[in-house]
Amino acid sequence: MDIEMNRKGDALTIVVDGNIDTDGGHKLAVTLQEAMEMDGIKNVVFDLKTVRTITSSGIGKIMNFFKFIDGKKGSMTVKGISDQLYKQFMEIHLDRIFPISK
């Protein structure tokens, strides 16, 4: 799994390429910690188009990051998500917490 972060002003896009499994979860945690340490980030977009599966731990890391951004009065969105992951996110109602679009 690879993760790329692209920052433009107060906006940050996090592109995840590959499945978020046990090893990928650790890499995601490190990346999200780096993002939390960036000053002035208010709007975060996740691109999960190539993620087919995610562990519950991975979902927890994303939720923890959402809590952080929300606490800073920022926003988090998923724009671009695989069909498999979209179905999983809808089943656990993550769309009620933050916007998710294909």
CA angle 87, 90, 95 (to 5 degrees): 135
pLDDT in tens, 6-51: 999 999 999 999 999 988 889 999 999 999 999 999 999 999 999 9
Say yes or no: domain 2-101 is CATH 3.40.50.720. Answer: no
Please tell me the pTM assigned to this model.
0.93
